[in-house]
Amino acid sequence: MNNNNGTREITLTALSAAFVTVATMLIRIPHPLTKGYINIGDAAVIAVAMVLGKRLGWLAGGLGSALADLLGGYAHWAPWTFLIKSAEGYIVSTSDVKAKFDWRWVVGPAVMVLGYFVVEIFMYGTAAALAEIPGNAFQGLVGAIVGPLLGKAFVGALGGANR
């Protein structure tokens, strides 16, 4: 990697993380049982994972989502969010950007739902974790639909980015 490529990767990763942060904070619907919130950030996580690929896509999604938690008053969720959204982003980042449909666009959000469910069981109990599933599933579904559309548009605009 020459210096120009390194600078481009750092810049795209930072801009992508900022995009995820803003998208996550744009619409927040609080969930009182788990002290978390429903958001549209998964669409951004999926889009940046598609643009940056598996080398950096997971990092931008995880950092951007965790930063949204820190800035939005949900600091207790930030470490878990980083791990969960990074896993989601990594799965999606291995997908075929040119495909009409790739199963990883659904598996990534499903891993997000499962990840939060497991953490919520330990933090708040099974009842609260079960109550959060519909909101997280809706969030993941929106991400699975909107994220690939955004990702394809961004990849086209950036000429393939880092994939």
Q: Which residue has the higher pLDDT, 4 or 81?
A: 81
- Residue with the larger pLDDT of the pair 104 and 156: 104
Is residue 156's pLDDT more than 60? Answer: yes
Q: What average pLDDT is seen over the chain?
A: 92
Q: What is the dihedral of CA 150, 151, 154, 159, to 10 degrees?
A: -150
CA 140 centroid distance within chain:
9
- Domain annotation covers residue 163: no
What is the per-residue pLDDT across 33-85, written as a single tens digit (0 to 9) for each? 787 889 999 999 999 999 999 999 999 999 999 999 999 999 999 999 999 99
Q: What domain range includes position 154?
A: 3-158
Domain assignment present for 146: yes
User: Is 154 contained in some domain?
Assistant: yes
Q: Is residue 114 part of a domain?
A: yes
pTM of the model: 0.92
Asked, for residue 7, whether it belongs to a domain, the answer is yes
Element containing residue 51 per DSSP (H, E)? helix 41-71
HEC-encoded secondary structure of 114-130: HHHHHHHHHHHCHHHHH
List the one residue out of 108, 95, 92, 39 whose CA is nearest residue 67. 39
Domain count, the chain: 1
Q: What is the CATH number of the domain that holds 126?
A: 1.10.1760.20
